[in-house]
Amino acid sequence: MRGMAAVPSYVVMQPTTLCNLDCAYCYLPFRATDRRMPVAVAEAVAASVNPWAASARFSVVWHGGEPLAAGREQLAALMVPFGPEVEHHVQTNATLIDDAWCEFFVAHRMRVSVSVDGPRERNGDRVTRSGRPAYDRIVRGVAALRRHDLPFSALAVVNDPAPGRATELYDYCLDLGCEVLGVNIEETEGVNTRTNAHDPAVVTGFWAELVAAWRRQPRIHLREVEWSLRYAAAVLDGNADDLLPRHLDPIPTVAYDGSVVVLSPELAGFTDPRYGDFSSGNVLTTPLHAILADAAERTTWVGEFLTGVEACRSSCPYFGFCGGGHAANRYFELGRFDGTETEHCRNSKIRLLEGVLEHARNHQSPGA
Ligand code: SF4
């Protein structure tokens, strides 16, 4: 894998900067203000995306702020320019989901991923703008999805990977009824400056415990564990080098105003004296495909980041699994893009793989 691809596999769109919640770990800087994406931005993005979607699977991920805070009318208007081949996904805090939203998801064939951190007592960081717990509203939204038989994914942030937490989270998600679970150990990024440093053995134990819980009842696609098992199988088959894509997916995030930040949605909305606003262009003045064609050359920080990826390649034994991604984590943890190891990659790559291996070692059949 070298450099950045010119064509992404998905694009992240910000229909509004507003979020109706005020979670303690949120990285978004403008979540209290409702800056809405005009339809002209969606039209400009669709002009590049529609030809890509005609030749390969392609997704638009509506992200925020809280994307449902834009309202059904606004979201529908933003979706109109996209062709029928484009898959639409939404990442939501679920608190606004009701029957009308479920009908909207069906009508627009929209796939839903909800953010929920496990049982009530693990959602203490998730509060409304007035500081009240959001958990009951999250659960009401999920209940609406289930009433309408809508499949959904869950995304959980774990801020304390203590023993017992992985089993608790997995069992909770079995009851919740999600099809897919993604797990993020809390990250220090954006306006969230809380530390994400943990005892290595505890984090490894968390992932090992999650694998054990999943193996007892493998009814949910467990995103991180499936990645790890695919990598372990490829190593055993001797083709691990073929697993990483040939080029990094640029993952363009299109902010409400049309500005494009590649590789890390978490950088959108920030500025730095060295790197400016991190954007590589604006779709209202330059087509998205043209922005991506030379983003690495025209964007100072992207070139620096690709240097960091090469440093990972030559120094890190986990590169074949990780690919050296995570630009925002480098910036927010190390203050630069050409460094290598971060707490995030220790928590969510290195110890993830170690945890899966620990589980395998602990469950070898006798004599194996
Ligand atoms: S685990 Fe960290 S240091 Fe290793 S390749 Fe990934 S980002 Fe780089």
Q: Is the CB of 318 under 6 A from ligand 1?
A: yes
CA distances from 328 to 2, 156, 189 (A): 19, 19, 7
Q: What's this model's pTM, rounded to 2 decimal places?
A: 0.90
Phi, psi torsion values for 60, nearest 5 degrees: -110, 125
Ligand 1: distance of its center to the CA of 324 in Å?
5
Q: Distance (Å, rounded) from C-alpha 236 to C-alpha 282?
A: 45
The finding on whether 350 has its CB within 6 A of some atom of ligand 1 is: yes
Atom of ligand 1 nearest to the CA of 316: 4
Helices marked H in 87-134: 99-107
CA 97/CA 115 separation, integer angstroms: 12
Secondary structure of residue 111 in the 3-state scheme: strand
Q: Atom 1 of ligand 1 has which residue's CA nearest to it?
A: 345
Q: Can you tell me which atom of ligand 1 is nearest the CA of 322?
A: 6
Give dist(CA 312, CA 332) in Å, integer: 18
Establish whether residue 327 lines the binding site of ligand 1, counting it when its CB lies within 6 angstroms of any ligand atom.
no
Nearest alpha carbon to residue 28 among 17, 13, 12: 17
Q: How many CB atoms lie within 10 A of CB 211?
A: 25
The residue contributing the CA closest to ligand 1 atom 4 is: 316
Instruction: Kindly report the protein residue whose alpha carbon is nearest to atom 3 of ligand 1.
Output: 341
Shortest-distance atom of ligand 1 to CA 329? 7
CA geometry: angle at 54 spanning 53 and 56, to 5°? 60
Place of tokens 């620096």: 304
Listed residue (29, 363, 110, 356) closest to 222, CA to CA: 356
The two counts, helices (H) then strands (E), for the chain are: 14, 10
Q: What is the pLDDT along the chain (368 residues), one digit of tens a residue?
A: 678 888 999 999 999 998 888 877 777 777 878 899 999 999 999 999 999 999 999 999 999 889 999 999 999 999 999 999 999 999 999 999 999 999 999 999 999 999 999 999 988 888 888 888 889 999 999 999 999 999 999 999 998 999 999 999 999 999 999 999 999 998 887 767 878 888 999 999 999 999 999 999 999 999 999 989 888 888 888 887 777 777 889 999 999 999 999 998 888 888 899 999 999 999 999 999 999 999 888 899 999 999 999 999 999 999 989 988 789 999 999 999 999 999 999 999 999 999 999 888 887 765 54
Q: Are 4 and 251 in contact (CB under 8 A)?
A: no
Q: Is the CB of 322 under 6 A from ligand 1?
A: yes
Residue in 5, 16, 90 with CA at minimum distance from that of residue 52:
5
Evaluate: CB of 340 within 6 angstroms of ligand 1: yes
